[in-house]
A and B are shown apart, each in its own frame.
Chain A
Amino acid sequence: MRPRTLLLAVLLALTALPVNAADTPLSFDDPVRQQRYDDLLAELRCLVCQNQSLADSHADLAQDLRDEVYRMLDEGASDGAILDFMVERYGDFVLYRPPLRASTVLLWGAPLLLALVAIAVVVRLARRRAPPPAALSDEERARLAALVADEKSGQD
């Protein structure tokens, strides 16, 4: 394939990506509510395709849950109520950002812990690289004094 044809093919492939969004987009006329709907779908995990949010997943279950979120928003439920509704049925796993609990302390704390370990290692390495200058022997000190004295007399 010639380079230009290849480039064209790559560009075409890239333009096709956004079409890969989930099917049957339910939408609200009210932009605020639409934004809340989009945000909620991005926060909630599809339990069938576990690495996809409800917004991305094509699974039947994701469609059902999207419909449910839509229905609840339409009835005026708050975001918190909708998330609670999902957690009551599917557990914390349905949330992409699990709440801080005893079982998730490690999950939330690990990045901080790793950062502290990394800083400790860097500090230790830096100290080892630059050893403090060794103290001068008496002979060296005498030579230094002589050199300094020479320098001073030369300047005068």
Chain B
Amino acid sequence: MRYALPLGLFVLVVVLLARGLELDPRRVPSPLIGKPLPAFEMETLAEPASTLSRADLDGRPYLLNVWASWCVACRQEHPLLVDLARRGSITLIGLNYKDTRADAAAWLADRGDPYRLSLFDADGRLGLDLGVYGVPETFFIDAEGIIRHKHIGPLDAAAFERDIAPLIERYGDGS
């Protein structure tokens, strides 16, 4: 009985620490979930002459994937994105982040281009508005342009099935 209190405290601390081990401090919850995609007016990677705004993308759900040719982890997730595009799982829009047109185009030519189009965010302005801090990041945007999910770091098949497939089920695949 004498040791009940210290033992209880000890067990509590162990449980809390054990739980803490499973949390990833890199996964910072985004305050943008449930909010509309920030407004933008942006050139596309393929066509410097034409600009695109948020309204041009509305009307169908899509994945907005933040990528860059200098981003090593992007190489890791790229085959999955190419595969998703090939299977027509969902529309993919790229956000080419703080990159150069030449490098980005060469990168896509090398590895395949899964994107319906890529926005060209050379100075990282839209990236800042989206709270991007660890490329690659992937946002699920519904048909009304509302951000429903944010995945930080390279997307893998398991995370896609767990987090994004249910959203596609719910909001449609954009086809």
Contact = CB atoms under 8 A, between A and B. Distances in A.
A50 B130 contact: no
Interface in A16-52: 47-48, 50
Main secondary structure of the interface of A (DSSP, over half): helix
Interface in B56-114: 98
A50 B25 contact: yes
Contact of A47 (B124, B129, B130, B133): B133
Given A47-B133, A50-B25, A89-B130, 16 more contacts: A47-B134, A48-B134, A61-B133, A64-B124, A65-B128, A89-B31, A89-B32, A89-B128, A90-B28, A90-B31, A90-B131, A91-B28, A91-B29, A92-B31, A93-B28, A93-B29
Interface residues of A, number: 15
Contacts of A92: 31
A88 interface: yes
Interface range on chain B (Cβ under 8 Å from partner) = 10 to 19
A74 interface: no
A48 B31 contact: no
A87 interface: yes
A90 B131 CA distance: 5
Contact of B31 (A50, A65, A68, A91): A91
Nearest to A86: B131
A68 B128 contact: yes
B51 interface: no
Interface string B30-65: 111000000000000000000000000000000000
